[in-house]
Structure formats: structure tokens, C-alpha cells
């Protein structure tokens, strides 16, 4: 009874295998044939398993051989490393011995080459920045190579190279004291390249006819200054460029550009005026009007003074001058009483007074208003300055320069207009008063003569 389930399971397996074999081979005719086929399949599986085991053993043998070969390579590399370490240690000892021998042999030369290297570095910078390089370019290249040699421990400079360094130093000293004329390509202020003749004054200035030039070390080019100094300095360059010998006055910059740069930063008269702003222009306009009035009054009063002086010498009254017109009024009322004549002459003098004192009041007003406008510009400029301080602080003085310039320039303009106009007003007023004094004096004499004569 115990074997019944086992037998049933075996029959089920055989039937399942039979059904599989029937599906694959087309079916078996009997159970014996099915059992034979199962036996053949088991034999084939055992054969395939043995073949796999054979391949696995062969692969294992190959892997073992590869591992053995790798171990042999590792051992050879370790032996090579030990040899290289020994060689490195031996080289270290050799380098130490050679360095000691080099230090012993060089001795004080090492200090000499250190000083020579410092001199070479300083000389290279000085020559590259020198104006002489505009005429003799490329001198710094050799010094760069020499400096590289001096910085290397494997090479030493030769006697010829050291002598060449001495030659360059001597050449720079010699050229500093010479005035040389040579052709060069300069870059004009509008960007054009022009071939022209350049005059080098030592190592201080480069000039051409009427213009100062500058040398740019980075590019090795010569160009015109974007802004030329005052004409009294520019004229000296014209004389120097056209001179063939002798002594020529010339504005030299001994600081090699610093004084010239400071001079160029100084604003011109037009720029000074522009700093005054609108108030400055108003002050100048009033000053121009005042000068025109003063000039017209001086010319008119001068002509009147001359005509009055001529009338005083003449015996006949002429209507072309104030005194003549007063005398004509006296002749027209010569038969009047002294009091009436005095009134008529006073009337004639009053008639002449506006012609002699015309525009003097306006000139006087300008002399008062001009400094007041200057004070107004000062206050306005200080307001602008304090606004800049409020917004940006006091870190950058250039932000406050505009307001300070306006404050100072307007004050200067106001005083510059008022002071000469005050003097001109005094002169003009004096001349008009002189003519009026002559008229009053002559009229008083006429009245006195009429009073002394008996009534007709």
C-alpha cells in the first residue's frame, strides 16, 4: 500500500515524458521505446556534462598560467624598482658632490652674477622705457636673454655678453646728452601713420615741428600727444626742429614726462570759462557789454574834450561841441538880464549833461552786479558739491571737482569783470565831469561878464 503513491507518481512522470517525446519526435509506439529514448537522453546529457567539465578544467589551467605569468612580471618590476632606487640614491649623492664642487669653484662669482643679474634687470626696464629706444629699438631683447642665463644654474654668461651689457649702459649715458634728428613713423592725433623727421632731446623729449611726441614702451610706437602744451612751449619745438646748429631755447622736461603730463592736465582758458557754467557766461556777457559801453564813452568823450578845447581857443561858437552850443545859447540871449542869462545857460548845460553822462549808470550797475553774480555762482557750486558728498561721500575728490570749480571760477570771473570796469567807469566819469566843469566854468564867466556890464 505504501508503494502505490510512488508508483502513481512514476507513471505520471513517464506519461509526461512520453507526451513531451510525442510532441518532439512525433510520438513513441510503446513504453519500451519511450524508456529507451529517455535512457538515450540521459546518456547524451552525461556526455555534454563531461565535455563542459573538460572545458572548465582547460580554462582553469589557462587562468592559472596567466596568474603565474603576472606574478613573474610583478617580481621583475619589483627587481627593476629596486635597481632604480639604488641608481636614484647614487645620483643624489653624485649631484650633492657636484654641487659642492661647483660652489667651491664659483666662490665669489656667485655674488658677482647675482649683482650682474640685478643690474641687467634694472637696465632692461630703463632701456625699454627710454626715449632712446624710439631711435634704437630692440635693445631689451638681449638683456632678457642675458637675464635668463644669469637665472639658470646650468649656463654662465660669456665675457662678450658682459661687455655688451657695459656697452649698452655706456650708450644710454652717451645718448642722454645728445640732440639727435632721425626719421620715424609717428601716429597722429587722428590715427594716421605719417613718416616724418623727429628730434630727440637726450632721453627727455621727442618733438617734431610744432608738436611734442610720446613714446609707448609696450608697442614701441611714437605718437602725437592728444593735447599739446601752451603755445609758448610749442613754438620752441618749431625752432628746435628747424635749427641747424647753435643754441636754441627749448622747453625741456627733465622728469621725462611727468611735468609735461601735469602741464597738459592744466585746463586752458576756454575750459576754465566752461567750468563756470551758465552764471559764468552771464558774467562774461555783462563784462563784454560793459567794455563796449566804456569804449564808446571813451571815444565820444575824448572827441568832445578835443572839440571843447578847440572851441576855447576859437573866437566863433560852433554847434559841433557842447561848449559851442552853450556859447550859442548865450549869444541868443545876450540882451537878457544876468539872472535870466544864467538860467538859460543852466538850461543849455542841463541839455548837454545827458549826452556826456549817457550809460555811465548802467556801467556802474555792471560793476556792482558782476561780483554779486560771482557770489551766486559760488553758492551754487557749493550746493552742487554738498549734493555730491551726500550721494557719493568724500572717497573720490573728482566727484566734487565740478562744483568746486564752478564756485571758484564764477568768483574769479565776477572779480575779473568788476575790477577793470570800476577803473573804466572812474576814467569815463572823470572825463564827463571834466567837460561839464568846463561848461559850468565858461557859463559862470559869461554870466559874470553880463552882470558887470551896465543895463542898456
Can you give the pLDDT at residue 375?
87
The mean pLDDT value for 244-252 works out to 77
Round to whole Å and give the CA distance between 310 and 319: 12
What pLDDT is attached to residue 41?
Answer: 80
Q: Are 435 and 326 in contact (CB under 8 A)?
A: no
Each residue of 47-103: pLDDT tens digit? 888 888 888 877 777 777 888 888 888 988 998 999 999 999 899 988 888 877 767
- Compare 9 and 374 and report the one with higher pLDDT: 374
What stretch of H or E contains 259? helix 258-265
Q: Give the residue from 127, 250, 247, 132 showing the smallest Cα distance to 200.
A: 132
Q: Where are the domains of the chain?
A: 102-170, 177-266, 275-452
Q: In terms of Cα–Cα distance, which of 140, 238, 241 is closest to 183?
A: 241
Q: Is residue 184 helix, strand or coil?
A: strand
Q: Are 240 and 201 in contact (CB under 8 A)?
A: yes
How much is the average pLDDT of 172-194?
85
Is residue 360's pLDDT more than 50?
yes
Q: Where are the beta strands (DSSP E) in 6-60?
A: none
The answer to whether 202 and 177 have CB atoms below 8 angstroms apart is: yes
pLDDT tier, 127 (very low <50, low <70, confident <90, very high otherwise)? confident
d(CA 433, CA 421): 18
- Concatenate the DSSP letters of all residues of 202-223 into one string: TTTEEEETTEEEEEETTTTEEE
CB atoms within 10 A of CB 355: 14
Sequence-distant (≥ 6) Cβ neighbours of residue 404 within 8 angstroms:
381, 385
pLDDT of residue 130: 85
Confidence of residue 13 (pLDDT cuts 50, 70, 90): very low
* Burial tier of 24 (Cβ tally within 10 Å: 0-12, 13-18, 19+): exposed
Task: Give whole-number Cα distances, 147 to 15, 122, 162, 296, in Å.
Answer: 102, 10, 11, 76
Amino acid at each position: 500500500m505504501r508503494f502505490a503513491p510512488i508508483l502513481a507518481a512514476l507513471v505520471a512522470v513517464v506519461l509526461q515524458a512520453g507526451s513531451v517525446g510525442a510532441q518532439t519526435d512525433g510520438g513513441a509506439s510503446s513504453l519500451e521505446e519511450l524508456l529507451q529514448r529517455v535512457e538515450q537522453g540521459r546518456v547524451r546529457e552525461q556526455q555534454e556534462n563531461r565535455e563542459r567539465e573538460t572545458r572548465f578544467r582547460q580554462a582553469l589551467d589557462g587562468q592559472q598560467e596567466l596568474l603565474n605569468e603576472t606574478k613573474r612580471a610583478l617580481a621583475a618590476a619589483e627587481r627593476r624598482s629596486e635597481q632604480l632606487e639604488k641608481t636614484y640614491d647614487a645620483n643624489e649623492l653624485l649631484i650633492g658632490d657636484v654641487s659642492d664642487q661647483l660652489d667651491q669653484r664659483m666662490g665669489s662669482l656667485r655674488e658677482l652674477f647675482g649683482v650682474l643679474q640685478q643690474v641687467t634687470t634694472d637696465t632692461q626696464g630703463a632701456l625699454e622705457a627710454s626715449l632712446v629706444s624710439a631711435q634704437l629699438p630692440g635693445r631689451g631683447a638681449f638683456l632678457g636673454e642675458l637675464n635668463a642665463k644669469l637665472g639658470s644654474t646650468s649656463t654662465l654668461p660669456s665675457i662678450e655678453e658682459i661687455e655688451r651689457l657695459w656697452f649698452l649702459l655706456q650708450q644710454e649715458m652717451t645718448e642722454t646728452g645728445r640732440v639727435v634728428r632721425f626719421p620715424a613713423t609717428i601716429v597722429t592725433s587722428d590715427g594716421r601713420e605719417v613718416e616724418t623727421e623727429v628730434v630727440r632731446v637726450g632721453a627727455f623729449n621727442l618733438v617734431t615741428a610744432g608738436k611734442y611726441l610720446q613714446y609707448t614702451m609696450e608697442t614701441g610706437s611714437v605718437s602725437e600727444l592728444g593735447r599739446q602744451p601752451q603755445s609758448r612751449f610749442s613754438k620752441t619745438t618749431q625752432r628746435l626742429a628747424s635749427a641747424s646748429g647753435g643754441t636754441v631755447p627749448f622747453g625741456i622736461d627733465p622728469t621725462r614726462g611727468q611735468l609735461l603730463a601735469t602741464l597738459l592736465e592744466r585746463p586752458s582758458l576756454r575750459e576754465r570759462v566752461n567750468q563756470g557754467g551758465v552764471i559764468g557766461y552771464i558774467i562774461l556777457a555783462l563784462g563784454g557789454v560793459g567794455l563796449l559801453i566804456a569804449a564808446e564813452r571813451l571815444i565820444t568823450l575824448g572827441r568832445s574834450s578835443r572839440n571843447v578845447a578847440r572851441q576855447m581857443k576859437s573866437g566863433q561858437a560852433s554847434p559841433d561841441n557842447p561848449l559851442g552850443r552853450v556859447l550859442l545859447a548865450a549869444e541868443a540871449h545876450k540882451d537878457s538880464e544876468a539872472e535870466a542869462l544864467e538860467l538859460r545857460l543852466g538850461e543849455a548845460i542841463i541839455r548837454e549833461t545827458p549826452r556826456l553822462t549817457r550809460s555811465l549808470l548802467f556801467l556802474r550797475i555792471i560793476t556792482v552786479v558782476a561780483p554779486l553774480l560771482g557770489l551766486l555762482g559760488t553758492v551754487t557750486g557749493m550746493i552742487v558739491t554738498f549734493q555730491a558728498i551726500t550721494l557719493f561721500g568724500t572717497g573720490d575728490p573728482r566727484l566734487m571737482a565740478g562744483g568746486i570749480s564752478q564756485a571758484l571760477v564764477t568768483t574769479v570771473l565776477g572779480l575779473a569783470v568788476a575790477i577793470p570796469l570800476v577803473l573804466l567807469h572812474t576814467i569815463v566819469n572823470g572825463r564827463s565831469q571834466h567837460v561839464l566843469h568846463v561848461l559850468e566854468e565858461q557859463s559862470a564867466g559869461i554870466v559874470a561878464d553880463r552882470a558887470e556890464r551896465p543895463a542898456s
